[in-house]
Amino acid sequence: MAFCSMICCGKGVDRKKEKGKKQPAWRIFSLKELHSATNNFNYDNKLGEGGFGSVYWGQLWDGSQIAVKRLKVWSNKAEVEFSVEVEILARVRHKNLLSLRGYCAEGQERLIVYDYMPNLSLHSHLHGHHSSECLLDWTRRMNIAIGSAEGIAYLHHHSTPHIIHRDIKASNVLLDSEFQPQVADFGFAKFVPDGATHVTTRVKGTLGYLAPEYAMLGKASESCDVYSFGILLLELASGKKPLEKVNRTVKRSISEWALPLACEGKFDEMADPKLNGKYVEEELKRIILIALVCADNRQDRRPTMLEVLELLKGESKEKLTELENNELFKTPQTVCDDDGITAAEENSDIIKEEKDSKPAKDSEQEKTEDG
């Protein structure tokens, strides 16, 4: 991909400050500057590792803190991922989307520079090395749910063209110093052409978060992100992982676990034990019901992110009553079968599996690629 032409042509992105408008600008970094900011990509600066490469903490000459994602191995595929992420981030600005500070493309080195998020990822608090600290009280969890919904709703409904993220998950929700969420990692994102209902594409994403029609048929649409967001909400409320081993061979999805309990009204049993019973009952119930309609296997029954936002904020009593009376909660059904996972694995381009964090590092994931 002609990365330079994509970015240098600007594609409507004006980096200069417009009169009276505050436009946080991104810029091109030199490799030398990033070496110096990260102490030569020192192991001690490493924040985590993803499919693209490692992420390092750094500090610029002005004292500001940055996170630098460094491409592991150069390949055409990696170059595309890099270009997509930079192009999308350069276009979008929202308080709940991770801001791009800039990038560096020298020789075969590809690096992306972001604002540093001091509280790392939601994954690290729910399942990783921060989980024992119990820093996510109920108020924070509600803010994370609403904030990340706002970020995704912006991608789906307010950016032009619309953007599907395709990898919504707990390790891609980063937390700033106030625990406000910022949705990150746009390497798999896709623009949706005007008027299109979906784009057919090779499957990329993370096991446990993939909507069935996407995993099986490669049909990516905004509602795939809604499905993944539903899984993320269940995780946030319960502290459980998207996939849980029931025995040596069988894995159960979080929605298969949650739906029967929700139908029986056993919401208290679903709350994350780390909350120690400290949560707002009505909000817990609301979050779980919203999560389950988002993670409905039937794509046409899922709400849009704008509807999700309205429900999460509890603004309309009428909509909340409608939600409680949703037929999904009257007739429990299998939410995800094992075939879905197998098909996804077989047809996938890149499907990752969430792994536990190593001590002192954030999440690491296993990635399978068909080359």
Ligand X SMILES: Nc1ncnc2c1ncn2[C@@H]1O[C@H](COP(=O)(O)OP(=O)(O)OP(=O)(O)O)[C@@H](O)[C@H]1O
CB 38 to ligand X: min, Å: 13
Query: DSSP letters along 131-157, please?
Result: GGG----HHHHHHHHHHHHHHHHIIII
Q: Among 41, 50, 149, 148, which residue's Cα sits nearest to residue 104?
A: 41
Contact code string over 296-335 relative to ligand X, x by CB under 6 A? ----------------------------------------
CB 221 to ligand X: min, Å: 20
Name the amino acid, one letter, at 54. S
Q: How far is CA 82 from CA 4, 148, 200, 227, 361, in A?
A: 11, 23, 21, 25, 23
Number of residues that bind ligand X (CB under 6 A): 27
Nearest-5° angle of CA 220, CA 163, CA 97?
125
List the interface residues with ligand X, window 43-62 (CB under 6 A).
47-52, 55
Contact code string over 67-96 relative to ligand X, x by CB under 6 A? x-x---------------------------
Contact 88, 183 (CB under 8 A): no
Contact 18, 93 (CB under 8 A): no
At residue 112, what are phi and psi to the nearest 5 degrees?
Answer: -120, 135
Joined together, the tokens standing for residue 2 give: 């002609």
Q: Which of 121, 223, 238, 297 binds ligand X (CB under 6 A)?
A: 121
Q: Which of 44, 137, 167, 194 is catalytic?
A: 167
Q: Which of 104, 184, 259, 344 binds ligand X (CB under 6 A)?
A: 184
CB 204 to ligand X: min, Å: 9
* Binding segment toward ligand X, per CB under 6 A, in 21-29, 110-118, 152-160, 259-267: 110-118
Q: Which of 38, 45, 83, 172 binds ligand X (CB under 6 A)?
A: 172
By beta-carbon proximity to ligand X, the closer residue of 115 and 225 is 115
CB 21 to ligand X: min, Å: 25
Contact code string over 218-247 relative to ligand X, x by CB under 6 A? ------------------------------
List the interface residues with ligand X, window 347-366 (CB under 6 A).
352, 362-363, 365
* Binding segment toward ligand X, per CB under 6 A, in 166-174, 211-219, 247-255, 331-339: 166-174
How far apart CA 165 and CA 174 sit, in angstroms, is: 15
By beta-carbon proximity to ligand X, the closer residue of 51 and 181 is 51
CB 115 to ligand X: min, Å: 6
Each residue of 187-211: b (16+ CB within 10 Å) or e? Answer: bbbbbbeeeeebeeeebbbbbbbbb
**319 carries a ligand binding annotation:** no
Active site residue 167: yes
User: Strand, helix or coil at 49?
Assistant: strand
Closest residue to ligand X, based on beta-carbon distance: 50
CB 57 to ligand X: min, Å: 7
Q: Among 275, 88, 291, 270, which residue's Cα sits nearest to residue 192?
A: 88
By beta-carbon proximity to ligand X, the closer residue of 118 and 260 is 118
Q: Is 287 in the site for ligand X (CB under 6 A)?
A: no
Name the burial class of residue 110, with classes exposed (0-12), middle (13-18) and buried (19+) by CB atoms within 10 angstroms of its CB.
buried
Q: Which residue has the tokens 């912006």?
A: 154
Q: How many CB atoms lie within 10 A of CB 258?
A: 27
Nearest-5° angle of CA 120, CA 123, CA 124?
55
State the catalytic residues.
167
- Which residues are documented as binding site for ATP? 69
Residues that bind ligand X (CB under 6 A): 47-52, 55, 67, 69, 98, 114-117, 120-121, 124, 167, 171-172, 174, 184-185, 352, 362-363, 365
